[in-house]
Structure 1
Amino acid sequence: MTNKVLDNIVALADELREQATEAERLNKLPDSTAKKLKDAGAIKLLQPKQYGGFEAHPREFAETVMKAASYDGATGWVCGIVGVHPWQLAFADPKVQEEVWGEDDNTWIASPYAPTGVAVPVEGGYIFNGRWQFSSGTDHCDWIFLGALLGDKDGNPIMPPTMLHMILPRKDYEIVEDSWNVVGLKGTGSKDIIVKDAFVPDYRVMNGDHVIDGTAQREYGVTDTLYKMPWSTMFPLGISSAVIGIAEGALAAHLDYQRDRVGAQGTAIKDDPYVLFAIGEAAADISAAREALLANVDQMWDLTEAGKEIDFERRAAGRRTQVRAAWRAVQSVDTIFARSGGNALREDKPLQRFWRDAHAGLNHAIHVPSTVYHASALSSLGIDPPQNLRAMI
């Protein structure tokens, strides 16, 4: 299928580049940018066709996120994070799907999933309280997924923990203004969220552990390959794609800057073999990161479509690929940024923003390599990793 959404994003290239400075000033995407992304269908790629979505192959989703991020990191990041939420809502209770998309199928959903809230069971649902950080794109969303732990009647988490994903409308939570003061990905508007004594009915609650291990999809009875894909492939995909797209944007900005530049020693960059070597190496590594991420999602798709079980070892290897791809791309950005001269630090140059955004992207929990590499290595040795290493795999 031809990715019409990608074509729409390419058509917005100049506008997305131009609004990046304003997004940083606002600490969120401008309303006009969010509208353009809605018109482009940027968040609908993984959304069910029943509600106006495209049910696209996740490769197309990743390629679109990369492209948007290559124009502006914050825009790509929002496309990646907000864009994956329709995938999960597709196997939630039909009643909440209708609430979110019934009147407006371009309604956006925010997150985060960190279980920093507690849900106490009551008749018909839960009483919910908590505070969360890092809700990307939240100003432009009217619903939200929030992570929670199941609590007892006194509001204390029950042990062993049970993770829940709570789905709330905008009226039931508070966005904390001035809670996103950062050095990178400033335009994502990843603000704090507060919930106080909200009642969340049962049908708006998903068992988070079941979402991650695939039980929720099987219980819902999904038959489409897209919605049977492993969570550990789909949830990180938009985030890792954004980081690689940011690296591609940094490379493009670097080439544009270096094309006619003369270095401090009076040598034109086009005649400097050391800088040219760095450009060539960085370009190869960023391309390799891109291809590794896309090949990984293609392989997961093929296994899922064939009805084969994707065991923990394979999922862990997939996460290892995602993490390494992101780190490889950002390390390549460092290589070229260090050879861009002092003027690359100026705020009117886009390269410094791509550099900051790339490093900020690595700070997301899904890009922490330690536990992922550890779990993958143990699995490859035939050893079952302990529970603390299995998070997000």
Structure 2
Amino acid sequence: MRTAVPDKVIDTVRRRAEEISSAGPANEQLGRLDDAAAAVLRESGVVRMLQPATHGGLEAHPREFAETVMEIASLDGSTGWVAGVVGVHPWEMAFADPKGQEEVWGQDQDTWIASPYAPMGVARPVGGGYVLDGHWQFSSGTDHCDWVFLGSLLGDADGSPGSPPTMLHVILPRSDYEIVDDSWDVAGLRGTGSKDLIVRGAFVPEHRTLLYEKVAEGRAPVEAGLSNPLYHVPFSCMFPLGITSAVIGMAEGALAHHLAYQRGRVQITGTRVKDDPYVLSVLGEATAEIEASRIALLDNASRLYDAVAAGREVTFAERAANRRTQVRAAWRAVGAVDQIVSRSGGNAMRMDNPIQRFWRDIHTGLAHAIHVPGSVLHASALTDLDIEPPQGPMRSMI
């Protein structure tokens, strides 16, 4: 059941649906979200849905957040992707030192935080903190963010990572990193503006760092004294949730445009689509697959939330099963879109037809590292067999 405040968010999205949808071509042309599209997201409150109430956040249920991201992504893939990615960062920021939270949100509770979390830099310990250097890719929505979470390896005094490696999440203001403007030239999700970032010798105080292991294993929210179950849902559920929700929302958007296009379409053979049993059969199956993907992802988030709300620790096996469901939901939805697009006719590939943009966007979204199935399916199968799960990098996405 949805709660009243998050309802206002999704109601705003629906009221502004035409603005979000019509911004799609402009987002693509700019290679980032159009300022008007970003303003709608900001005004809707979607990025504050997982933010702590102490800093103006809504502390919504993960399911409510996922449903809202799906709604936005069904209107425009890039806008939904930014909502899903940027919207997860306030959830982790809730674990940070209160001094760091005040630095980010003290002047403006609508301040957005970018990422990426991949450890593409090295943090060298110095008095009071670290000196950070590195070059990161895929910082979605970064042009509209004033802070960033960056994954980093912990180095020694000479800057060499240890073995085994220790990973930090560090928090930097916009003044400490460079956005590489010409670094996002891609086939899909062009409007996300997922550009490269460069950091050269930035000082990161200790209070603006989080040990990744504590975040991944659920110790960070305990140490932060957080009581809301929202913040005890595993990182391996919450981090992918916004991304996969966007992918499923794009599938719903592609389906909606396909239905509108096919409703009165006459094929080159002279057969109306409504009279073609082969096309209708595929359409029915694809609709069911997209709906199944949606239900699986939302149910997954709800079950894990219910588990932590009951005070139960989520096991590695449950985390692996969650990731298996999430990955398969994404692949199932994209497969369904491929089926309907292949029955949409050549005109669906014209650049003024939104179907082709949803198709490009959803395949780009599927290419994200969290949707790579191999290690996830491997680990979940081992746990189902009661065999010791893999160690090291094979656990990194679980």
TM > 0.5 fold call: yes
User: How far apart are residue 32 of structure 1 and its match?
Assistant: 1.4
Q: What count of residue pairs does the alignment treat as equivalent?
A: 393
| Match among 141, 147, 152 for residue 143 of structure 1 | 147
Pairing 1:9-88 to 2, within 5 Å after superposition = 9-88=13-92
Pairing 1:56-135 to 2, within 5 Å after superposition = 56-135=60-139
| Match among 195, 198, 202 for residue 194 of structure 1 | 198
Query: Would you say 1:375 and 2:379 are equivalent positions?
Result: yes
| Match among 211, 215, 219 for residue 215 of structure 2 | 211
Percent sequence identity over matched residues?
62
Give me the whole-angstrom Cα distance separating, in 2, the residues matched to 1:123 and 1:203.
12
Give me the whole-angstrom Cα distance separating, in 1, the residues matched to 2:225 and 2:58.
20
- On the 8 A contact 1:212/1:392 being kept in 2, the answer is no
Match of 1:392 in 2: 397
Gaps of 5+ in 1: none
User: How far apart are residue 229 of structure 1 and its match?
Assistant: 1.0
Match of 1:225 in 2: 229
The answer to which of 72-81 and 49-58 deviates more is 49-58
User: How far apart are residue 368 of structure 1 and its match?
Assistant: 0.4
| Match among 296, 308, 314 for residue 312 of structure 2 | 308
Match of 1:273 in 2: 277
- SS of 1:43's equivalent in the other structure is helix
User: How far apart are residue 329 of structure 1 and its match?
Assistant: 0.3
User: How far apart are residue 308 of structure 1 and its match?
Assistant: 0.6
- SS of 2:47's equivalent in the other structure is coil
Give me the whole-angstrom Cα distance separating, in 1, the residues matched to 2:209 and 2:313.
26
Give me the whole-angstrom Cα distance separating, in 1, the residues matched to 2:49 and 2:366.
24
User: How far apart are residue 31 of structure 1 and its match?
Assistant: 1.1
- SS of 2:92's equivalent in the other structure is helix
- On the 8 A contact 2:155/2:161 being kept in 1, the answer is yes
- SS of 1:91's equivalent in the other structure is coil
User: How far apart are residue 268 of structure 1 and its match?
Assistant: 0.5
- On the 8 A contact 2:120/2:135 being kept in 1, the answer is yes
Give me the whole-angstrom Cα distance separating, in 2, the residues matched to 1:220 and 1:23.
38
- On the 8 A contact 1:91/1:216 being kept in 2, the answer is yes
- SS of 1:156's equivalent in the other structure is coil
- On the 8 A contact 2:20/2:40 being kept in 1, the answer is no
Give me the whole-angstrom Cα distance separating, in 1, the residues matched to 2:265 and 2:40.
35
Give me the whole-angstrom Cα distance separating, in 2, the residues matched to 1:41 and 1:169.
22
Pairing 1:287-302 to 2, within 5 Å after superposition = 287-302=291-306
Query: Would you say 1:365 and 2:366 are equivalent positions?
Result: no
Gaps of 5+ in 2: none
| Match among 237, 240, 256 for residue 260 of structure 2 | 256
* Normalised TM-score (structure 2): 0.98
User: How far apart are residue 224 of structure 1 and its match?
Assistant: 1.0
- On the 8 A contact 1:185/1:357 being kept in 2, the answer is yes
RMSD after superposition: 0.7
Give me the whole-angstrom Cα distance separating, in 2, the residues matched to 1:341 and 1:223.
53
